[in-house]
Amino acid sequence: DQQVKQNSPSLSVQEGRISILNCDYTNSMFDYFLWYKKYPAEGPTFLISISSIKDKNEDGRFTVFLNKSAKHLSLHIVPSQPGDSAVYFCAASVSFGNEKLTFGTGTRLTIIP
Amino acid sequence: DAGVIQSPRHEVTEMGQEVTLRCKPISGHNSLFWYRQTMMRGLELLIYFNNNVPIDDSGMPEDRFSAKMPNASFSTLKIQPSEPRDSAVYFCASSATSGYQETQYFGPGTRLLVL
């Protein structure tokens, strides 16, 4: 049972445009969410996170939006750059401070120059 | 800082053989995690340790899998006997402070192929 779902396995976006990656979850106990970025032959690296008490968190070109009623979060990258081409994983935990993370299957983002 | 070190980076073995994956966490980190990545299920947490003690092994698929952390600088994940469905990329991660997900640093992974 996949509790965190990333329904788009891949996404292609023109350089300079906005990239929007989506993630849905089913476990209503999740209240802390993270995005990780992964390049080929490397491990995932932390990108940005959001607590359920917020609906938006911004860090430079990266913004994560959380819609708790819809159990949906999204990652916006503006503007998209070639170095953003990677696999992006959404992850969730039942509480901030709980180390156990549940990951999605990932979305491969390709930025077209 | 060398980061999390995993060995081997690639492993090809035959069904029924024992496989041992190794991990050296970042010095000073007190939590260690083993994950498995597959196309169908994404990244799954198998087990994690805090101060060398296993905290949650509910993600370990079955008795063929075992993990140990004999000291703060070394951990192993063993599969015995291995099966083709164990083929995946296995990641080790470590963190400095219990409870802060942002500080989970991943190793480069071990790509396992069981024939």
CA distance A111 to B98: 36
Each of the 113 residues of chain A gets a pLDDT tens digit; together they read 789 999 999 999 999 999 999 999 999 999 899 999 999 989 999 999 999 999 999 999 999 999 999 999 999 999 999 999 999 999 998 876 667 889 999 999 999 99
Q: Which residues of A touch B100 (CB under 8 A)?
A: 97
**A108–chain B nearest CA distance, Å:** 12
| CB spacing of B101 vs A91 below 8 angstroms | yes
pLDDT given for residue B101 in this prediction? 54
Q: Which residues of A touch B48 (CB under 8 A)?
A: 99-100
Interface residue of A21, A99, A101, A107 to substitute, partner B, most B CBs within 10 Å:
A99
Residue in B with minimal Cα distance to A41: B108
Terminal C-alpha separation, chain A:
37
Q: Would an 8 Å CB–CB cutoff place B93 in contact with chain A? A: yes
pLDDT given for residue A96 in this prediction? 64
pLDDT given for residue A101 in this prediction? 87
CA distance A80 to A91: 22
| CB spacing of A97 vs B31 below 8 angstroms | no
Angle at B45 between CA A93 and CA A47, to 5 degrees: 55
Phi, psi of A16 (to 5 degrees): 95, -20
Sheet holding A62-67, edge to edge: A4-5, A19-25, A72-77, A62-67, A56-59
Side-chain-facing half-sphere of A84: CA atoms under 13 Å: 27
pLDDT given for residue B42 in this prediction? 86
Dihedral angle over CA of A31, A95, A42, A60, nearest 10: 50
pLDDT given for residue B99 in this prediction? 56
CA distance A21 to A9: 10
Condensed to tens digits (0 to 9), the pLDDT of residues B23-37 reads 999 998 988 999 999
**A104–chain B nearest CA distance, Å:** 6
Sheet holding B65-71, edge to edge: B5-7, B19-24, B74-79, B65-71
Q: Show the tokens assigned to A19.
A: 């990239």
Positive or negative CA dihedral for A41, B102, A51, B36?
positive
Q: Residues 52-111, chain A: which have Cβ within 8 Å of B?
A: 89, 91, 93, 96-106
Q: Give pLDDT < 70 ranges for chain B.
A: 1, 97-103
